[in-house]
Structure 1
Amino acid sequence: MSQLHTLTMPKWGLSMTEGRVDAWLKEEGDTIAKGDEVLDVETDKISSSVEAPFAGVLRRCVAQPDETLPVGALLGVVAEGDASDAEVDALISQFLADFKPGEASEADSGPASQKVELGGRIVRYLELGEGGTPLVLIHGFGGDLNNWLFNHAPLSEKRRVIALDLPGHGESGKALQAGTLDELSQAVLALLDHLGIDKAHLAGHSMGGAVSLNLARLAPQRVASLSLIASAGLGREINGDYLQGFTEASNRNGLKPQLTQLFSDPGLVTRQMLEDMLKYKRLEGVGQALASLRAALAEGSQQRHDLRQAAEGIPVLVIWGDGDQIIPAIHAQLPGAQVEVLSGQGHMVQMEAAEQVNGLIQRFIDNA
């Protein structure tokens, strides 16, 4: 008894419509396990690996390196059990005959992001899933809700999950009053109030971790748990040169050395990623917002906030990459927390080791 599976171009984030095949990581005839990285794909946001959602033998590599294909297009065929070449050929022919570019992209796009005015400021957010105690995803310094590109949908399979653009970031209002953690935390609380959420799990990355901890300090009754990923606020040291370099960079040559420090694989920093970041940094008010936030976060290479006590009495998961060049992984050692330090990973561990991070957060929240 055999079963054939199609491996198709995934959709990462709302805006993705196509991807370029970079390289196959497996060869025809290789046995693959569920979760194995099968090929690398580059989008206009980031490069990443396509993981197998099933186990079997890679029978056919249909897509070729350097080929750009729409979301949902056929990449390869995986077989469980014995299947003849004729059966594989028939499946491919049928798929290509039925496939209409654009339909998969539209069907998988899901809800669009929304904007709401809170306290005189526009805040953008994206909501997926339903049920359970909601989870709120809070990005880091200079990021936006797309930093959760590989996490948002998988985490929403069991519950309502909201990602937002913090004030000064993404498509939210850029003007800040003082750029303090209190201001950012209050913006998250205002969004929770708007959405009718009394209590939520919080997952924060980097500065977003500090925002989450600070929110727990301000309103502990609103926080069901904390998932802190490479979080600020858990120790003194921080890469002040990165913060300064990122804030001041005004062209690709100035920005690229900063962004490559975020990843264990510098090749993930694409030209489009640089262009998108520069476009954001040139928006009116962004430069001032980033400068205010940087000053509020750190003085040189020393963080201003020690928020470890804010986590007391709340279930906490701490995730870090042991190769983090922005905030050292030694900060992960928080008493009473579940601590997971991932080998070979950098600061953007939720993107580079998405499946592992998603599994850790999902299991932690289920038991919190």
Structure 2
Amino acid sequence: MPHTSSGIYWEEHGQGPLTLVMLPGFGASADLMTGIARHLSGFRVLIFDLPGHGQSVRAPADGRLSTLAATLHDAINDVGVDAYCLVGYSLGSAIAVRIALDYPDGVRALVGVVPWNAAGTTAGDEVIAGFDAAYGNVEALTQGVAAISVDPSKTSSLTSSMLTVTEQMWHGWLAGGALTSQADELSEIRIPTCYILGGKDVVVDQAKQLDDVRRIPGSRAVLLSELGHLCGLEMPDVVANEISNFLETEISNRCQPPVEKGISVV
């Protein structure tokens, strides 16, 4: 199985002139993005397990966005990708934002799927604190996953992948990294950006997600009323369709100056 020099697992799907680098969310493995990738056509898709997750458990992972971004940026370089679009899911989207800010040269576009809000959260966030306390507890994690699901019958596999996350990564993110903010830096992003938001997302505050969109010049948001935070498992075809629509439209017009795109609701 392919691993980079830093121990990051990656896999490749599809073919096309445009390369998509996909980063899963917290607790999830590459399988989360594989489900979405199956519904994408005309793209070369590279999916990376996050540090401390899945088959990347030997990669350094302290839960801080800056170090997670650095590790994944190095992994992308190891694979030999020069120009790519970043698709991040939840925590993966926060890492993607950090990559776009710290290593902008190769990033052509940015898509956040139910993205973690850039301002972070507070120590009193019940959902985040609950997952932090549930480390390694199968019953508590199963209940937690069900609580943030729209259709629990499609999300049970997430518990198993959560059990692979290293303790340092688990607490480093939920009790540390999740509290940090990069909101004031969003205005520095100068690439086509789209956030795909879920109307039934109970993990990330929608108002904070929309505030992020307003801070990124020329960005847009698509609010899908039936999507929850685990939409990658529940409705991967819908997510893939929105990714394709955005990239096919924006990349073809990337030479045009940024325009305020606003928010569309479906």
TM-score computed with the length of structure 1 as normaliser:
0.61
The Cα offsets for residues 19-53 of structure 1, whole Å up to 9 and x where unpaired, read as xxxxxxxxxxxxxxxxxxxxxxxxxxxxxxxxxxx
Deviation at 1:236, TM superposition (A): 4.4
Distance 1:140 1:310, change over 3 A: farther
Say if 2:188 is the partner of 1:305: no
Say if 2:97 is the partner of 1:213: yes
Deviation at 1:173, TM superposition (A): 3.1
| Distance in structure 2 (CA, Å) of the matches to 1:251 and 1:131 | 42
Deviation at 1:304, TM superposition (A): 3.2
Which of 196, 200, 204 is residue 88 of structure 2 equivalent to?
204
Alignment of 1:1-368 (within 5 A): 114-118=1-5, 121-155=6-40, 157-174=41-58, 176=60, 178-237=62-121, 240-249=125-134, 250-270=136-156, 273-274=158-159, 276-277=160-161, 279-281=163-165, 286-299=166-179, 303-306=180-183, 309=186, 312-333=189-210, 334-335=213-214, 336-367=218-249, 368=251
Report the identity percentage. Answer: 23
Counterpart of 2:129, as a letter, is: Q
Q: Is the 8 A contact 1:261 1:326 kept in 2?
A: no
Distance 1:176 1:254, change over 3 A: same
Larger CA deviation: 184-193 vs 248-257: 248-257
| Distance in structure 1 (CA, Å) of the matches to 2:126 and 2:171 | 13
Determine which structure has more spread, i.e. the larger CA radius of gyration. Answer: 1
Figure out how many residues of one structure are paired with residues of the other and give that number: 243
Deviation at 1:329, TM superposition (A): 1.9
> Higher RCO, 1 or 2 (CA under 8 Å, sep at least 6)?
2
Q: Is the 8 A contact 1:323 1:343 kept in 2?
A: yes
SS in 1 for 2:7: strand
Distance 1:188 1:305, change over 3 A: same
Deviation at 1:227, TM superposition (A): 0.6
Which of the two has greater strand per residue? 1
Deviation at 1:188, TM superposition (A): 1.9
Structure 1 segments unaligned to the other structure (5+ residues): 1-113
Which of the two has greater helix per residue? 2
Q: Is the 8 A contact 2:57 2:164 kept in 1?
A: no
SS in 1 for 2:131: helix
Counterpart of 2:152, as a letter, is: P
Q: Is the 8 A contact 1:247 1:291 kept in 2?
A: yes
| Distance in structure 2 (CA, Å) of the matches to 1:217 and 1:278 | 28
SS in 2 for 1:204: strand
